[in-house]
Amino acid sequence: MTSRRGFSLLEVLVAIALIGALLGAMFAFSWDMLSVRDRLLLETNRARGAALLLDAVEGDLLTCVVGDAARGSGIQGDATTLSILSRAVPARLAIAHASELVFADLERSRYRFRMGSGLIEAQRTPVVMGSGAGYEAMGGPVARVRFRYHDGSGWRDRYDSLAEDRLPLAVEIAIWYADTEPDDGFGSESSAEDPWPDAPAGFDDLAGFDDAGDDPATPVVAPDRLRVILVPDAAASPDAETGPEDPEP
C-alpha cells in the first residue's frame, strides 16, 4: 500500500506567494479600471456642461431683445453670471403688432458659475410667470467660467443692455476645465485665423486670459472651450472706436 506525501512547507509558501501575486494583480487592474471610469465620468460631465452652456446661450442670443423697464434688461451679466431675455421668434417679426400678446413668449434665461462647487447652473422662466423654479446644474465641475461682452470698442466684464440702450456686438464664453499649465494656443474651438476679421478695434481674444490678475508677466493660460457669439442686429456704441479705414484706390 502506497503512502501519500503531503505538501512541504516550501511548496505551501510558494503557493501562497503565487495566490497573493495573482490577487494583487487583479486588485491593481480593478483599481485602474475604477480610476479610468471616474476620470471618464468627470471629463464627460465637464464636456456635457460646457456644450450645454455654449449651445443654450447661443440659441438665446439669436432672439434676444434689448428689454424695457417692465421686463428688465435683455442682456445683463458680469464675469460669472449672465441673464438673457429672449423670445421664440425674432422681435422684428412682431413690430407691426401692438398687443402685449406679441411678447407672451418672452423667456428669461439665467446662467451662472458657482465658484465653490465648480458647477454650471441654469434657470429658464417664462416672463409671464414671474419668478420660476430654482437653478439646475448643467454639468461640471469645472475650474472657471468667464463671460465677456464686446461693445464695439473692446471687451467688458459687465454689461446691461437696458442701461446701454443697445445689445452688445458679441458675447464671449471661456471655460477652463481645471488648472493647467500655460499654453500658447487656444482650446478645441479656436483657430489661428482671426474669427472676426472685420471686427472693430479692441477685439483681442488673448486679452484677459492670464487667469491670475493684471500682471503682464503672468503667462497666458488658454481656456479648454472658447466661443465668441455674435449678437444679431446689434449695433456698436456711437462713440466706439473703429478700426482703420481701407485706403481709397
Q: Residue 26 falls within a domain, yes or no?
A: no
209 vs 9, higher pLDDT: 9
Per-chain mean pLDDT for the chain: 75
Bond from prior residue into 141 cis (ω within 30 degrees of 0): yes
The pLDDT assigned to 221 comes to 80
Interacting residues of 146 by C-beta distance below 8 A, sequence separation 6+? 79, 80, 172, 173, 174, 175, 208, 223
Task: Work out the percent of the chain whose per-residue pLDDT is above 90.
Answer: 25
The pLDDT assigned to 82 comes to 94
Q: Residue 16 falls within a domain, yes or no?
A: no
pLDDT tens for residues 46-96?
888 899 999 999 999 988 888 888 888 899 999 999 999 987 765 555 555
pLDDT tens for residues 102-155?
566 788 899 999 888 888 999 988 877 666 678 888 877 889 999 999 998 899
Q: Residue 35 falls within a domain, yes or no?
A: no
Q: Residue 248 falls within a domain, yes or no?
A: no
Q: Residue 189 falls within a domain, yes or no?
A: yes
Is the per-residue pLDDT at 215 higher than 90? no
Q: Residue 197 falls within a domain, yes or no?
A: yes
Cell numbers representing residue 28 in the block: 491593481
Q: Please state, in angstroms and rounded to a whole number, the distance separating the CA atoms of residues 27 and 30.
A: 5
Beta-bridge mates of residue 172: 148, 228
* Domain of 150, in residue numbers: 41-230
pLDDT tens for residues 217-230?
445 688 999 999 99
Beta-bridge mates of residue 155: 150
Q: Please state, in angstroms and rounded to a whole number, the distance separating the CA atoms of residues 123 and 129.
A: 13
Q: Residue 24 falls within a domain, yes or no?
A: no
Q: Residue 4 falls within a domain, yes or no?
A: no
Number of domains comprising the chain: 1
Task: Work out the percent of the chain whose per-residue pLDDT is above 70.
Answer: 66
pTM above 0.85, yes or no: no
Q: Please state, in angstroms and rounded to a whole number, the distance separating the CA atoms of residues 97 and 140.
A: 43
